[in-house]
Amino acid sequence: MDTSRRGLRIATGLAAATFLVLAARTLRNGLSTKPSEAATFIEAELGNVATEGSATRRLFDAREVERQLAGILTAIPDWETRALQAKRIIESADFSDPSIGAMLWDFVVRNLEGASSTLETSQLLGRHWVIADRSAAWGFLSDPERIPLGFDQSLALQNLFALRGVLIEWTEWDRGEALQLARTVTSAYLREGLLTELYRRWAQSDPETAWMEALKEDFTEEVQRFRTEVSLLPVISRKDPSLALRLARSLPSGFWETSESFSATSGLHEWARENPAWAARYIEGMPGFAGEGMRSSLVGVWSEKDPAAALDWALRQRNLAGPIQEAFGALARRSLTDALDRYAGGTEPLQKAWAPALALQWASSDPASASAWALRQREAGLGSNALLQSLPIWAQADPSAAAEFIRGILPQVTDSSEQLALARAWVVAEPGLSLDQLRSVVAPENHDALFADVVQNGIASDPSAARAALERIVDPGTRRTATSGLAVRWGQQNPLQALEWAQTLASRVDQESAIRSVFEGWATRQPEAAASHLSNLEASQRDQALVGLVQTVMNQAPADAANRSLQVSDPALQAQLLESTFQRWGRSHPTAAAAWLDQARLPAGLVDRLRSRIP
């Protein structure tokens, strides 16, 4: 074992050495079902233990690793916190015992699948294991019998990253030996991934030699060599951009016109992000659909670094209307003055396309000036889209001034869709407008849509006006949607008043829908108050209220949602709510979901369906 390198990592294991004790304390404090509290408690305790001296700085044996991993499963349902604690154990485990590596690997692949750092944890495992025992680490992780050829993609990635960790460390001892080991891997997917990673690391220090040696590699299929060479482009470009361009131009251009070409574009995307100006010299000549997609992608990533240069390049290409618009929008966000100058020199079609993005960005700092400018563009025949971008922002920032501006221009507008858009901005500025005023400025076919906007915007200032607008809506679908929106927002602001209104609706379907929406809005602000009011409702209304309550809390409090679902009297509706809850809960906290299901008294068929939603 490389004791000097290993020793540097032992200190980080001090915190993990006490994990089992902390897990037990967590359980005693009643935090096992509250992951955020458990994590906070454990982190605080780890900080306390770190001051207890150096006597506990030791490597973990197999028994201790097993106990601590069990502690993680018992005390922490949260994926990310599990991964954090698993890393700490890996950093301090005694991998000279091969069973520890196998134990940790089994834990990572079975119990961290929901963590964003699962692959990082797998790679860390490989790196620490190989430092302690090269032959055991490589023998276990590369064993084709352990993972059959049909293994799933998630497990394949974890295995790839663990083997990468092994070979990353191995290259520190002998790069040639690490490459030879990678060539012996049975799986073509793993073999290609490992060789690519090793050549990329080599290219960081000696790009030309790494490229030349990669050309000699005996890949099973030519596409594998092609992908490996493309993956070297961003790495080489950091050290020698001209060499990267030479590599790219040496690739057979005909490949980009084949169906397999898309599997190799990830390296080009990375190159474009790293050095867009150099990548552009190659990408502008790429043929086929891959070339079209890469030119669009290049403009997007280039716009983040240098929107003016990206725009100049995009304007010289063909069929890049969308990316040109994206680059101009990025330029407007970077410098409004530069964007105005570029706009002034643009052709009429470009001005028509760019005006909305310019008005939107301008309105964020000066909506009045942006709207006045946008009106001049409309009067010049460039359309009203720019005006429709700036006015809603102005209506929120200075309602009275925006309303006065809109009143002045609406009589001049004859297009019905433009009338509706301007009237909607007017409603935002003046939610208390009379319905007759609004009817007079828009075409009859747009009345329902406009009244729905009055419902949406008027509830905060005038619930009676919102109800009056709702009654004017003729189309059943529009009316139903507006009713739901009114009930949700009113339920947030004045739930008892909203509930009283919902119970007076003539249609039973509308009534139940509105009650459900009222409780949805109520539960977002006051879930406990909403739950306490359930007993005041009759059975059918209570079921609908429970639907609104459960659907609102199921993401943040799935156990509460499951328990509330059991109160629903309609069996079909109850099953529907439970399945929705378990769809989320089963993935986020499978242990807690399974424990709840074990003690629930439910029909066997429903139990089976719910259990199938737990991975």
Of 430 and 174, the one with more pLDDT: 174
Lowest pLDDT segment from 50-54, 221-225, 555-559: 50-54
The residues facing 60 across adjacent strands are: 93
Contact 161, 119 (CB under 8 A): yes
* pLDDT digit string, tens, across residues 220-244: 888 888 899 999 999 999 999 999 9
pTM value is 0.67
The arithmetic mean of pLDDT across residues 503-518, rounded, is 90
Three-point CA angle 352, 356, 361, nearest 5°: 140
Contact 118, 84 (CB under 8 A): no
Query: Does 65 have pLDDT greater than 90?
Result: yes
Alpha carbons 585 and 579: distance in angstroms, whole number = 10
| Local confidence band at 459 (pLDDT 50, 70, 90 cut-offs) | low
Contact 394, 405 (CB under 8 A): yes
The arithmetic mean of pLDDT across residues 514-535, rounded, is 92
The arithmetic mean of pLDDT across residues 29-46, rounded, is 46
Alpha carbons 451 and 434: distance in angstroms, whole number = 11
Alpha carbons 5 and 87: distance in angstroms, whole number = 17
Contact 52, 6 (CB under 8 A): no
* pLDDT digit string, tens, across residues 576-596: 999 999 998 998 888 899 999
Identify which of 199, 258, 268 has the alpha carbon closest to the alpha carbon of residue 223: 258
Query: Does 154 have pLDDT greater than 50?
Result: yes
* pLDDT digit string, tens, across residues 299-317: 999 999 999 999 999 999 9
The residues facing 93 across adjacent strands are: 60
Alpha carbons 151 and 51: distance in angstroms, whole number = 45
| Ranges assigned E (strand) in 104-184 | none
Contact 167, 134 (CB under 8 A): no
E strand or H helix at 576? helix 571-588
Burial class, 494, CB count within 10 angstroms (exposed 0-12 / middle 13-18 / buried 19+): middle
Break the chain into its structural domains and give their ranges.
252-334, 563-615
pLDDT at site 48:
42
| Local confidence band at 19 (pLDDT 50, 70, 90 cut-offs) | very low
